[in-house]
Structures are given as C-alpha cells and as structure tokens.
Structure 1
Amino acid sequence: MAGALLTVGVLRSGSWPATASHEVAGTTTAQTPAPAGSIAPTKSAAAADPAVATSTASDDESAELDSGNWPNDAPTPEQVFTAQPEALRKAVGALAARTPGKTNVYALAFGGDGSEDVFRNEAEYVDSLVSKRFASPGHTLVLENNPATLTTRPLASWTNLEGAIDGLAKVMDPREDILVVYVATHGGSDHTLLVDMDPIPLDQLDPEGLAQILSRHAFRWKVVVVNACYSGGFIPKLSGPGSLVMTSARADRTSFGCGVDSDITYFGRAWLVDGLNATPDFVEAFGKAKAEIAAWETKDSLQASEPQIAIGNGIEAKLAAWRNSVKAGPAVPFEPAK
C-alpha cells in the first residue's frame, strides 16, 4: 500500500497571493516504500541480501528519529535560510573548469525531501558516479535537504536551483557540453514534487517550474532524470530536441523504494548503481533498469511503475561522442552518505 505524505506546498505560478497557496494536501506525494519481503535494497543492507523495508512515508515519528533533533539543534532554521546565498556561492565556486576541446558533462543533483536519507544518498551518489566512473571530478553541484548537511550543502530549493543553473552556465559551454539533472524526491498525482526541509518554508516544484528554470540558459544538450512517483508527468514539459528525459514512473503510477528504512529507491539502485556501472550509455542503462525494476515489482506483487523515457533528436549521437572521448572508470560501489 502506498504511503501518503500530506503537505501544504506553494507553487510559483500565477499571481500572489491569489494562487500562491496551491495545496498538495490529500495528494499521494510519496515514492512507495518497499513492501515486506521486497528484494529491493534497504537501509544498512548489502545489495545482494537486502533487509525488509516496512516504513511508510507518513511515519512521522520514525522520520523525526531518523532526522536527529533538528530544528532544536543548531543551526537554527533562520541561520540556515540566511546562509543560502553564501552556501550556493561556495558550491558554484568549487566547480572545476571545463576541459577545452571536448564535450564535458556537468551534473546537478537535487535531493528534495529532508525527512528521508534516501534522497540525499542518491544525490551524493550522482557526485561519486560523475567524479569517478565518468572521470569528471568537480563537475557535480549537489543541492539537498537533510539535517546532516545543513551547513555543508546548499538546500534543494527553487531559488538555489535557479542559482545553480546560472552558475553552471558560466562554467559550461552551453552549446557544446551536456547538462545532467537528477531530481529525487516524493511526487504527487498532480505532478508536484515535494521540496521540504521543515520548518523552513520552501516552494514546491512542478513540470512548468522545472522547465522554466532549465530554460534560463540555452543549454543545447540536456539529460533530465526525475525519480519520483507520477514523474512521467514531467515528460511533456521537458522533452524536445537535444534532450533525454527519464522518469521512474508513468504519469499515473507510483514508484517504489523510499522510506526511512531505505538507503536507495528502486530506480536509484537500478539505473544509477546497476545500470550506469554496467554501461556508460544512459539509454542502455535505462533499458536494463526498467527490466530490473519490473522483475522486483513482479516478485513483490506491485503495480508496475513503468519508467518512461523520451529521446530527443540528436542527443543519442551527442552522448555517444562524449562516451568516445571519456575512458569510463571502474564501477563505483554504492554506500549510504555519511
């Protein structure tokens, strides 16, 4: 049974205040936790022999325990909020310069929900994968909401996402390089993504908003991955020439593997870890991941999430040219973020 996470979110659409209080309350905004007996990986478990995930996304008490004692512990919510411009400036400043004369890949990882470590784990694994597997250290900018990283990473927020895109545009060659965006969080049936670091008020993200942010600069080549329930609803707004868009579920289906007892989602394990460590080809890795997820869901008697893919004109050839210019490193083992 899918967990239901109830929240009230604000979308940046229309005129304020008339339309600024868009409610997500009552919507299923959760990747579905792995059921009892699931073969999908869970917290403190080896990939080959996972433990049982039993928590639901609405398990407030467990989420509180998992998140430590914040916001009662320092820093305070106001301190975190006011520190964001400097935190983002430092993160952008730490990006490595592009290698001239070749196609570079830069990644932006966004872990949206601060109540579960699973999203932080995936955002930080993207950094490891790009740095080691794809031989591009310093080419990833991580935005994440998690009590453990409030003083070390910029928050995953609408404003920081805009600033991160602006910063990447200054480092990259937008006509030559490839921008990879990986978003992991809970998703609602209305195709709103949960962006939450309670009690800090953060705007929620929808397909129109994400498309608007990505259009701030003319990135010719993009790979956008949305790992959330109902994430197929992002494809119409994000797909197009030069873009590869992948989602963990159909527009009307949930995806699985979140929860406070989980280290990584089904899609995160299948595409990021198993798929991209088997092949540097993003599309081929997606095919492997889709089959792997289907096998897990069949074994667990779950309704198929049916991950989606949209391949725009030219992007496969561009990615092939990039792969030919980069010697892929060894497989990067997945470990939960410390």
Structure 2
Amino acid sequence: MPHQFVRRFVALTAALAVSLSLASSATGQATSAYVAPQHTTAWPGLGTGDDQGAAEASLELGPELERDRSPVWMLADQRRLDKALATLQPQKKGVVDAYVLAVGLDSDPIFGREAREAGKVLSRRYNALGHTIVLAGTDGSGPSDLPNGTPRALALTLARIAELMDRNEDVLVLYTAGHGAPVGLAYHDGDEGFGIISPARMARMFEELGIRNRLLILSACYSGVFVPALANETTALFTAASADRTSFGCAADRDWTFFGDAMVNHALRQPVPLAKAGEDARALIAQWEKQADVTPSQPQISIGSGVGKWLAPLEARMPKTVTAMVGRPAISILSDQGR
C-alpha cells in the first residue's frame, strides 16, 4: 500500500477517534440503566499502516470491508440470506443431526463451483436435507442466485444454526473454499469486498455460540494455521495445507482445487469412514503434487478423541453407494497448461 495513502488513512482515523471521543464526553451518562456502547479503542486500522504488530492484531479481529457496494445489490443479497436461513429446520430430538454450511469466500468462480458441490456431497453424506446452506458468489455462468459468501453471512448463519441445533448432540459441518494467508481465510469479492477470518475470530464465534461438535474442512492456502486454535476433543479438522504452505489448483477458471477435488469429489463420495476419506485425499494430493513437481502442501488432519460420539451415528446412516464425480479433474490443469 502506498505510504502516502497510509499517512492520509492514519490521519483520518486519528481525527475520527478524537471526534468520537469528544462526542462521547459531550453526551454524558444517560439516566436509565442502559449504558450505550463505549468508544474504548482507536478507530481500527483494518491491518493497514506501518506498525506490523498493530496490523496483525487488527487482522486477528477479523476485519471486513465493503467498498462502494451497490445498495440495490446489498438489499437483494440480504433478502437471499434471509430466505436461505428461513429454510433451515429445527433439529430432531434424540437424533444426531448434521447442519451443513458450505461457503465460497472469493468471487473467483472456482470457489463458487467448489462450495456448491461440497454442499451437495456433504448434505447427502450426512443426511442434512433441510439443514444445509450454501453461501457463494458466481459459478461462472452468471450472477449468483445464492447469498454471497462473506464473513458476515458466515457469522449470521452460524448463529442461526446454533439456535436450531441441540448443541450437546448435533454437529456443524463447515466447508470453506477460498484463498488463504498466514493470518487466516481471505474474503475477496471483486473490488467490493475484503476481509480476513482469523483462527482466533473463528474460535471465538464457536465459543460464543456453543458449537462444540464440529467437522471443519478448510480449503485454502496456509489453512493449517487454524489447527492450534480449533482442534479439540470434539472437533474433526481437515485443512488443505499446513500453516506455512500453499495449496494448489486454485485458478479461477478451474472446477476444483487439488484439495477440493481429492477430498470432496473423490474421497467423501465414497461410503468410507471419515478418517479414511481424509487419508485417501491426502495420498491423492501428494500424488498430484509429485506430478506437478511442486512443494508439498502438507494437508493437516486432526480428529479429537470424542468425535466418535457424534460421528458414529452419522456414519451409520451414511449412504452405501458412490455418487459420480463432476467437473474437470484438478490435475488436468497440467495437461491444459501444456497445450
């Protein structure tokens, strides 16, 4: 970011902080018991500026920036989200229900396609009809008819799922597709939407909402950074890469990333246990990466000791047949590049 812009941005935020402080002082304390939200910190830098520590701290909080968004589009997208949330059905007492949420966090069509198919595969595998939502931008064929995949939409959907599920019994199945960074999952929608979902931010959301039983599948570079924050005894966590490695195959015009193809399009379509599906996907990715002669992404797998309590009932009801793979194989990117 140009330093001249940074200086202007810092000056603006400092002026806003002073203005807000003066306004708070002038308002005084209301006579009722209610206490209005207080300004206790400076205006957030959203990760900008020359202070690396402040930037990292800001990114950890999960900033989201919508820039010059059309108000007509915003209203239409809110209506799509409201409609999708209204389709979610309450849990069934005495039954381990899975709530599937698939999110494409980037406007590159590959992530819209991957999120849509992941939602279908996971919903079928875990019998989540009426308990599934997909948030994603375009699949490349035209404007999306789904609620957009944003950090805000993700948070609102998690909150609604938490209201409907039995948090002691039921399971969140979350699949995210998008780019990643060493600080977390990146939200990037054209020139309008920007943001970060950090491991700390995601962990705090789960903690506040009381979502303890979790199957988390994170398809992004550096997604292993989430393992220390999210791995626990009731969580099964699969990431596309280790904390210091990229994953592969995320060209915008493709149908699958390497991880999405191996994990969703191959392994999870099979009536095999979750742990085996993860290992099968990891072996297939290693094979493809060897063919591509790239640095291994090192996908991570963490399955807590208490996962079996909720996973066994889900897998007992799992379909016994295989569904057909869709889209161009991720590895075909090598032959296409050679044309």
Q: Distance in 1 between matches of 2:144 and 2:265?
A: 27
Structure 2 unaligned residues grouped into runs of 5+:
1-5, 7-39, 50-68, 329-339
Opposite residue 307 of structure 2, the aligned amino acid is: I
Q: Distance in 2 between matches of 1:16 and 1:151?
A: 37
Conserved 8 A contact 1:248-1:307: yes
Conserved 8 A contact 2:240-2:259: yes
In the alignment, structure 1 residue 142 sits paired with structure 2 residue 142: no
Give 1:117's aligned residue.
109
CA drift at 1:316? 3.0
Kindly report which structure 2 residues correspond to 1:185-224, keeping only aligned pairs within 5 A, or say none. 185-188=178-181, 190-224=182-216
Give the root-mean-square deviation of aligned CA atoms: 2.5
Change (3 A) 1:15 1:268: farther
Opposite residue 116 of structure 2, the aligned amino acid is: E
Give 1:282's aligned residue.
274
Larger deviation, residues 323-332 vs 250-259: 323-332
Q: What secondary structure sits across from 2:215 in the alignment?
A: strand
The C-alpha deviation readout for 1:216-257, integer Å capped at 9, x for no partner, is 311231011111111111111111121111101011111011
CA drift at 1:143? 1.2
- Rg comparison, structure with higher value: 2
CA drift at 1:100? 3.5
The C-alpha deviation readout for 1:248-276, integer Å capped at 9, x for no partner, is 10111110111023110111111111111
1:225 maps to which of 198, 217, 230: 217
Q: Distance in 2 between matches of 1:228 and 1:113?
A: 11
Opposite residue 172 of structure 1, the aligned amino acid is: M
Give 2:94's aligned residue.
101
Q: Distance in 2 between matches of 1:275 and 1:79?
A: 41
Where relative contact order (Cα < 8 A, 6+ residues apart) is larger, the structure is: 1
> Identity percentage over the alignment?
30
Kindly report which structure 2 residues correspond to 1:1-338, keeping only aligned pairs within 5 A, or say none. 15=41, 17-22=43-48, 77-114=70-107, 116-146=108-138, 152-188=145-181, 190-335=182-327
Q: Distance in 1 between matches of 2:324 and 2:164?
A: 26
TM-score, normalising length from structure 2?
Answer: 0.73
Conserved 8 A contact 1:133-1:330: no
TM-score, normalising length from structure 1?
Answer: 0.73
The C-alpha deviation readout for 1:11-68, integer Å capped at 9, x for no partner, is xxx9552432448xxxxxxxxxxxxxxxxxxxxxxxxxxxxxxxxxxxxxxxxxxxxx
Q: What secondary structure sits across from 1:83 in the alignment?
A: helix
Across the two proteins, how many residue pairs are aligned to each other? 271
Structure 1 unaligned residues grouped into runs of 5+:
1-7, 9-13, 24-75
Conserved 8 A contact 2:114-2:177: yes
The C-alpha deviation readout for 1:80-113, integer Å capped at 9, x for no partner, is 2233433222111112343443111111111011
